[in-house]
Amino acid sequence: MFEARLAQSNLMKKILDAIKDLITEANLEISSGGISLQGMDSSHVSLVALLMRSDGFSPFRCDRNLTLGVNLQAMAKLMKCASNDDILTMTAEDNSDTLNLQFESPAQDKLSEFEMKLMDIDSEHLGIPETEYDAVIRMPSSEFQRICRDLGAGIGGESVTIACTKEGVKFSVTGSVGSGSITLKQTGSVDKPAESVVINMAQPVTLIFALRYLNSFAKATPLSESVSLSMSREVPLVVEYKMNDTGYVRFYLAPKLED
């Protein structure tokens, strides 16, 4: 038996909206530690890793590990039937082929119950090695979203070069109408951590990425006020949105390599 009760349906809506365009179906892995998910996009260029720790739910019950194959787009549609502040309860029997979703209004005067069919999904689990990154940049998530959008829509760029030095982080593109760059400098004061740009750097690093994936990752912006970019030479970028202390959505993106 699996049961997980989440105080606000809104969180699950935001998570699904953040990942459903990149991966349309995935296995939710349920264990005593919580709910996790890993999936690559069909071109094997990017990967989503989700963790919702059990302590983010109250209660959380998992008698045995379960793998729930879910169509994320269908689940996102179903979650739209919940109001943002509805209490979400997910339940599944062991060996069940359905996931039950229950939405309860805060005043407890409305209860919606849905049964979602599960599917068998063959998915490879990728082992992601522990990496000491050359540079870790933390910035406001809205700023990252804005930069990706402006460089894509404004210049029509396909590839973005991200260069990180002690002075700042520079995003450059060359596109159909010309070229452009946006540089963020490290902020002096850290009175408001969520609004700060902080660069932790062991050595300067420059990498090239497909901009459209970064724009897709930015759909996770509502999940967190800040985002971190972890970069090392010739290894995948990690874009992480932390959900308070109860979990994260991480996106991995393979770099473009100079011929």
Partner 1 sequence: TATQGRLDNFFTVS
Binding footprint of partner 1 on the chain (CB under 8 A): 40, 43-47, 124-129, 159, 208, 210, 235-236, 252, 254-259
Q: Which is nearer to partner 1, 103 or 217 (CB)?
A: 217
Q: Which is nearer to partner 1, 44 or 64 (CB)?
A: 44
Q: What CA–CA distance (Å, rounded) separates 65 from 7?
A: 23
Shortest reach from residue 252's CB to partner 1, in Å: 6
Token couple for 72: 């994320």
Shortest reach from residue 153's CB to partner 1, in Å: 21
Token couple for 104: 């309860």
Q: What CA–CA distance (Å, rounded) separates 56 from 29?
A: 16
Peptide bond into 129 cis (omega under 30): no
Q: Which is nearer to partner 1, 38 or 89 (CB)?
A: 38
Q: What CA–CA distance (Å, rounded) separates 252 from 41?
A: 10
Token couple for 70: 């879910």
Q: Are 149 and 219 in contact (CB under 8 A)?
A: no
In angstroms, the first-to-last Cα distance of the chain is 52
Q: Which is nearer to partner 1, 22 or 87 (CB)?
A: 22
Measuring CA to CA, which residue among 139, 165, 169, 151 is closest to residue 214?
151
Q: Which is nearer to partner 1, 78 or 249 (CB)?
A: 249
Shortest reach from residue 118's CB to partner 1, in Å: 23
Q: Which is nearer to partner 1, 120 or 124 (CB)?
A: 124
Shortest reach from residue 208's CB to partner 1, in Å: 5
Cα three-residue angle 148-144-206, rounded to 5 degrees: 75
Residue 12's φ and ψ, nearest 5 degrees, are -65, -35
Q: Residue 9: enclosing H or E segment and its boundaries?
A: helix 9-19
Shortest reach from residue 129's CB to partner 1, in Å: 7
Shortest reach from residue 125's CB to partner 1, in Å: 5
Phi/psi region, residue 27 (left: phi>0; alpha: psi -120 to 50; beta: rest), is: beta
Shortest reach from residue 154's CB to partner 1, in Å: 21
Q: Which is nearer to partner 1, 201 or 235 (CB)?
A: 235
